[in-house]
Amino acid sequence: MRLATAANEAYAASLAVSEVLGCNQCGGGRGRVEELGIRVPRPLGHGPSRFIPEKEILQVGSEDAQMHTLFADSFAALGRLDNITLVMVFHPQYLESFLKTQHYLLQMDGPLPLHYRHYIGIMAAARHRCSYLVNLHVNDFLHVGGDPKWLNGLENAPQKLQNLGELNKVLAHRPWLITKEHIEGLLKAEEHSWSLAELVHAVVLLTHYHSLASFTFGCGISPEIHCDGGHTFRPPSVSNYCICDITNGNHGVDEMQVNSAGNISTSDSFFEVEALMEKMKQLQECRDEEEASQEEMASRFEIEKRESMFVFSSDDDEVTPARDVSRHFEDTSYGYKDFSRHGMHVPTFRVQDYCWEDHGYSLVNRLYPDVGQLIDEKFHIAYNLTYNTMAMHKDVDTSMLRRAIWNYIHCMFGIRYDDYDYGEINQLLDRSFKVYIKTVVCTPEKVTKRMYDSFWRQFKHSEKVHVNLLLIEARMQAELLYALRAITRYMT
Amino acid sequence: MEKMSRVTTALSGSALTGRTMHCHLDAPANAISVCRDAAQVVVAGRSIFKIYAIEEEQFVEKLNLRVGRKPSLNLSCADVVWHQMDENLLATAATNGVVVTWNLGRPSRNKQDQLFTEHKRTVNKVCFHPTEAHVLLSGSQDGFMKCFDLRRKDSVSTFSGQSESVRDVQFSIRDYFTFASTFENGNVQLWDIRRPDRCERMFTAHNGPVFCCDWHPEDRGWLATGGRDKMVKVWDMTTHRAKEMHCVQTIASVARVKWRPECRHHLATCSMMVDHNIYVWDVRRPFVPAAMFEEHRDVTTGIAWRHPHDPSFLLSGSKDSTLCQHLFRDASQPVERANPEGLCYGLFGDLAFAAKESLVAAESGRKPYAGDRRHTIFFKRKLDPAEPFSGLASSALSVFETEPGSGSMSWFVDTAERYALAGRPLAELCDHNAKVARELGRNQVAQTWTMLRIIYCSPGLVPSANLNHSVGKGSSCGLPLMNSFNLKDMGPGLGSETRLDRSKGDARSDTALLDSSATLITNEDNEETEGSDVPADYLLGDVEGEEDELYPLDSEHVHPEEPEYVLPQEAFPLRHEIVDTPSGPEHLQDKADSPHVSGSEADAASLAPVDSSFSLLSVSHALYDSRLPPDFFSVLVRDMLRFYAEQGDVQMAVSVLIVLGERVRKDIDEQTQEHWYTSYIDLLQRFCLWNVSNEVVKLSTSRAVSCLNQASTTLHVNCSHCKRPMSSRGWVCDRCHRCASMCAVCHHVVKGLFVWCQGCSHGGHLQHIMKWLEGSSHCPAGCGHLCEYS
């Protein structure tokens, strides 16, 4: 066993380092270091997520064997244990698949050179102003030998990558506008042109990082300590009062706020869960008797699609990115725009005509072998993941709820399932939940802790993370479907 | 495509006639089905549902079943099937999960008969019982299969696949009660219609979804399945365990599979992505489709044989909104386009050659064809016994073995290993390589290197010792000195070709004694050579001998050819220029340094350096000194490289390319360079010269070549304890939870380079061991062994 722990030791050591830099400095050791004139960075946030109290999140060291292996793998692959991993480990089954896919995309055989991959990741994350991912990948990019000049902005990168900017933009915000002309433009740009395999690799990377940006904001991932915004050199306050007490403890101010808020709404939110369960039961039972007419079914989709446009939170506190990420993309004004509001009519995307399982998979696997399989597995795990629990209830069949969430997201992108009654969505997802979903998927940079707290108040944090997994996978699939359909159209 | 061939087949009274034809539909089709009488076909899709009559010349729209003002999702069909007993009965599967039956006998415009809304998700497939009039089966995305009796309002029984979506259901044609269903998770289940509680049998057929299946119309137990994993498999279901009989590998996921009537081993497939063609396969010949229909411009979504007893008509519907009738006779047959000859070189010059038997048989009587024009080798023919496809193609395999010794490639290996390609000044590299070549008896190559050095390096740097050395070597080879004199004797321009012919002829008759037909061939060669110019010679050399013959170790035969090529014709005009050039004292001085062509000349030059016209080389050298830039020779060098490459000595071409680097690179187009590099690397790898090949890859400037080092950089290692592959990490075994290699010095795991003593098998980090052995000669593990590190 001593032998097997080599990798683990290393990551434990890295944690020890962060501990030293964290709270231990309050102890005796601190003085010595500071006397030497070394500026000791301290973490700004508390725990891997700003939304989830640290004590809710699994403490490293207390994980079981499976998670332990996952952590070790993750550390071996990336050389770090990032906050995303620490939050995702709520669902180890998914995390495993996620890490495997990400590792393959970034480090294994593929048509794109390594620094291109990270740069594309940066481009994609920058689209959503996700400084967390941008910072991580800037480091990786430099590490694999990328040219630091490229980081000054997309216009300093090779023409080939600049060409990808347009696709990145459309894919991130309005994927339904992707046409085969976009694809053609990339593939036929003479010496700057992309090959089909490269393009598929790039598209998978783009969609992966768009949705990962959603996750980062949706779960309020804190910056890593070594990145901008993750640490401060401000010495701890001089009074006896130590910041670490508050930030690490989580039993201070935060907790009180939660409690006070919780107290008021406990009864409220208790009914929330009950009501939701009741509705699910009803839907299950009365599905057979109440038969909606065809027109109604069609209009329900349209209504849902339209309504999804209007769910937008009113609070507009802009999160200013710590690092100037905007220089990695152009046209900052281009954002999510609802398709129906814009004059042009975009036909509804029918899943029965182009779906991931039949079409998308085959195309990806043909052009970028093995990745189709990995992504397919990831989609499946995310879609089928369940513990049969809802808040405090056990043995609940949540498939209906999960399907409603999944289809709601696809609905926002104009993707329609013929065999789904979109009325169910209205029954199962309440407004605050829809606001959260919509924000995370379409404009993740606007997610606030209030939104996170205000939906599904009785549910556990792990369940909220679960929702986030559904959101990001559904989003990734939606983007992939549009991009791959365009590629297919180009090829035929 | 527009072959208007017409076929008439007599079938149990009725005759089918028709031609290859197509008609445009208004919308993409999802499925088609044929009426029992083979005269009508129904096409269904998201926004189309029509019946067409198949007439002799064209399709005629007979009926539009899509009636009503508002489009309903019930009419958005994923599948359609026409009852094989009742001409009026149709069933469709809708994308919203509804199963609809249609009765064409209804008097009203709306033919819709019954509506079953029991499935919660899209229904992927509907299927009528082959003999029972009222039994309909459906398979849906929700994982259930339902059996309907059309006389009742709801389903008779529900079968749960206990899995995700059902992709296909098919009643067995022979077994009254049996049906097969295929699933998205790769399983195939066999059910008894009377027992809805559990399936009779289940097995995993494919990796990933199984999109389709089809029972063999005659063979009771045969089931063909097609899946996303691009395979069609034929299963024998009569045995206790389903046995895989045949497997056909296609190029895209298989969306539909249909057995061809009356042809026991044929089946038709189409794909749902990327590939638009319809293939008909002979399952016994799984690599080449027997026939291919290429009419569609988008993926084919539905295929059906027109008549259950007629193998020549195939109908198909496609996403490109066309309905096609294909005639088997008009199909393109990839087999015919395939190259029936195969040729492959073995590592030691053996040659295997496969060709159609007819071709091989015919050859003995008449003129030999290209493949047999070889000398220095024996023929050994092994006829493949009992080809299974005697009707389709029968081929003969011949293996030509080289005579032991004659095809030795040791010079290649030696050269590859000893050449220096980088890391030193150009002059040294050239000298070194020239020396290597000379020691291996390859004087032409050696001279080329020396000349390159002269062209590209300033002559003042030539160390005289080296010079003498090279001169001595050159003359001690004992080669006929006549070479260089010959050249002078002949008229310029004319010389090279005639000389070449003669020398070739000589070489031929010497080496080809073993071959009875040798003399005949030699004559033929000569004729050809004389009639054509130099490139043709190269071609000839390529076809005939390649390396084996042109570079045997005994250099006598080859050498006579050399000077002509070293002194290409472009050089001759120079001579006249030189004559006019006033020669100063430094000129003479230089000439003394220059004689590299042959020993005799060198001697002459140093003794009496007056006659400036007798040696081309010295002349050109002098020219260089009077400020002719090296660029001047680039054309020459380029031609020289081409010559070597075309002679089969790609080694020389690549080596020179690398050594000269920027100096010549721009003159040779990227593609050619890449071609040379890849051929040379391939050769090196065949000789297991991994280090050299890697060095070449590293030194190459071609992007495509240097990429080679970046692909599949994974190194697979096995655990030293349990001997199993270590899958996740290279240094710790998942099975025995041990680290594979520990450093004997620092007792940590070695994750990079591991060096160990072959005596005691202890080892560790390269750096650590090196350091340790500097201070101690004993093994760091303490085993007492006296390790050596070199």
- % of chain B exceeding 70 in pLDDT: 66
Confidence of residue B43 (pLDDT cuts 50, 70, 90): very high
Rounded Cα distance between A120 and A165, Å, is 9
Which of B75, B146, B274 is most worth mutating to test chain A (most A CB atoms within 10 A of its CB)?
B274
Q: What is the mean pLDDT of chain B?
A: 72
Which residues in chain A are contacts of B141 at CB distance < 8 A? 419
Q: What pLDDT shows up at residue A478?
A: 93
The pLDDT score that the predictor gives to residue B2 is 41
Record: contact B46-A76, CB cut-off 8 A: no
Pairing relation of β-strands B7-11 and B14-18?
Answer: antiparallel
Nearest-CA distance B70 → chain A (Å):
8
B122, A291: Cβ pair inside 8 Å?
Answer: no
pLDDT digits (tens, 9 = 90+) for B441-487: 888 888 888 888 888 776 544 444 344 333 333 333 333 333 333 33
Answer whether B330's CB lies under 8 Å from B284's CB: no
Closest Cβ–Cβ partner in B119, B274, B710 for A362: B274
State residue B179 phi and psi, 5-degree precision: -140, 155
What confidence score (pLDDT) does residue B183 get? 92
The partner residues of A232 in beta bridges, in order of sequence, read A42
Please report residues of B whose CB lies closer than 8 A to that of A363: 273-274
Tell if the CB–CB gap between B252 and A366 is shorter than 8 Å: yes
Between B46, B272, B737, which is nearest A358 by CB?
Answer: B272
| B209 to A358: CB separation less than 8 angstroms, yes or no | yes
The tokens for B510 are 């010497």
pLDDT of residue A414: 85
Per the model's pLDDT, the better-predicted residue between B26 and A337 turns out to be B26
* Nearest-neighbour CA in chain A from B783: distance (Å): 21
Identify the closest residue of chain A to B97 by CA–CA distance: A419
pLDDT at B784: 78
How close B692 comes to chain A (CA, Å)? Answer: 24
Q: Pick the residue from chain A with its C-alpha nearest to B75.
A: A294
- Cα–Cα distance for residue pair B285/B247, rounded to 1 Å: 9
CB of B246 within 8 A of CB of B233?
A: yes
- For the stretch B216-251, pLDDT in tens is 988 778 999 999 889 999 999 888 888 888 999 998
d(CA B750, CA B739): 9
Asked if residue B549 has pLDDT above 70, the reply is: no
Beta-bridge partners for B332: B292
Longest dimension (CA), chain A: 78
Asked if the Cβ–Cβ distance from A419 to B121 is below 8 Å, we say: yes
Give the per-residue pLDDT at B224. 94
B-chain residues near A5 (CB < 8 A): none
CA A337, chain centre distance (Å) = 20
> Cα(A458)–Cα(A391) distance, rounded to whole angstroms?
6
Cβ distance of B184 and A298 shorter than 8 Å: no
* Between residues B369 and B783, the one the model is more confident about: B783
Provide the pLDDT for residue A333.
54
Q: Given this model, what pLDDT does residue B221 score?
A: 83
Contact B729 A488 (CB under 8 A): no
A130 catalytic per annotation: yes
Nearest to B732 among A4, A294, A358 (CB): A4
Report CA-CA distances (Å) from A369 to A198, A364, B381.
Answer: 12, 7, 41
**CB B274 to CB A357 under 8 A?**
no
Separation CA B615–CA B634 (nearest Å): 21
Instruction: Write down the residue that tokens 């793998």 correspond to.
Output: A73
User: pLDDT tens, B743-769?
Assistant: 888 888 777 777 877 777 788 888 888
Task: Give the pLDDT of residue A101.
Answer: 92
- B273/A363 Cβ within 8 A: yes
Contact: B76, A352; criterion CB under 8 Å: yes
Percent of chain B with pLDDT over 90: 15
Nearest C-alpha in A relative to B184: A357
Q: Which chain A residues have a beta carbon less than 8 Å from that of B742?
A: 3
Pick from B345, B301, B343, B304: which is nearest to B322 by CA? B301
Q: Which are the contacts of B486, defined by CB distance < 8 A and separation ≥ 6?
A: B495, B499, B563
Summarised one tens digit per residue, pLDDT across range B605-642 is: 344 444 444 444 444 444 444 456 666 777 888 888 88
Q: Say what the pLDDT of residue B169 is.
A: 93
CB nearest B737 (choices: A1, A7, A376): A1
Q: Report the pLDDT value the prediction gives residue A301, as an integer from 0 to 100.
A: 73
The CA–CA distances, whole Å, from B699 to B423, B656, B674 equal: 11, 12, 13
**Residue pair B598/B481 in contact by the 8 Å Cβ criterion:** yes
Give pLDDT, residue A1: 37
Across residues B58-75, what is the average pLDDT?
80
Helix axes A461-491, A371-384, angle to 10 degrees: 140
Please identify which of the residues A130, A219, A227, A411 carries the catalytic annotation. Answer: A130
- B253 vs A353: CB contact, 8 Å cut-off? no
Taking contacts as CB-CB distances below 8 angstroms, the residues of chain A near B250 are none
Nearest to B711 among A109, A357, A362 (CB): A109
What local confidence, expressed as pLDDT, does residue B274 receive?
80
Which one of A1, A362, A481 would you mutate to disrupt binding with B, by most B Cβ within 10 Å of its Cβ?
A362
| Option in A4, A362, A419 nearest B122 (CB) | A419
In chain B, which residues have their Cβ closer than 8 Å to the Cβ of A4?
A: 732, 737-739
Smallest Cβ–Cβ distance between B73 and the set A297, A361, A362 belongs to A297
Q: Is the ipTM of this complex over 0.85?
A: no
End-to-end Cα distance, chain A = 56
Helices (H) and strands (E) in chain B, counts: 23, 36
The burial of A377, by beta-carbon neighbours within 10 Å (0-12 exposed, 13-18 middle, 19 or more buried), is given as middle
Asked if pLDDT for residue B173 goes beyond 50, the answer is yes
pLDDT, position A287? 55
Top pLDDT among B372 and B295 is at: B295
Q: CB–CB of A402/A396 below 8 Å?
A: no
Tally of CB atoms within 10 A around B535? 10
* Segments of chain A with pLDDT less than 50: 1-10, 12-31, 33, 236-266, 288-290, 313-323, 339-344
* pLDDT value, residue B12: 47
CA distance B708 to chain A (A): 12
Dump pLDDT digits (tens) for B502-535: 444 443 434 333 343 333 333 444 444 344 343 4
Number of A–B residue contacts, CB under 8 Å: 93
In this prediction, residue A337 carries a pLDDT of 55
Which pLDDT value is given to residue B467? 40
* pLDDT for B597 beyond 70: no
Test A6 with B714 for CB contact under 8 angstroms. Answer: no
